[in-house]
Amino acid sequence: MRIEAYNQIGQIYAPKKAYGPAKTNTVSRTDQVQISSIGKDIQTVKQAVANAPDVRESITGPIKAKVQSGTYDVGTDDFASKLMAAYGM
């Protein structure tokens, strides 16, 4: 009879020890974030763009008023020359 083989099998099937929570150090650490001046500038610009209106009413307002009143006139020569320039003719 081989006793050492029995000991090895007993070790395999032996109940395992329950491990409790790992001990932690009592040192507390805090995370810090530092934003560079360029990052702050980018945030400022993003906020300014978000607050800006999509349409500049000072430019579009008078044109809208002329279109609604029927007094807006587009010269055919100006329109044709800009159309030709846009298509490279």
The arithmetic mean of pLDDT across residues 31-60, rounded, is 89
Q: Which two tokens mark 79? A: 């329109």
pLDDT at 23: 67
The predicted pLDDT at position 41 comes to: 93
The SS3 of residue 21 is coil
- The DSSP-derived string for 60-78 is HHHHHHHHHHT-----HHH
Average pLDDT over every residue of 50-58: 87
Say which DSSP state 17 is in: P
Decide which of 17 and 71 is more confident.
71
Mean pLDDT rounded to a whole number for the chain = 82
The model's pTM: 0.34
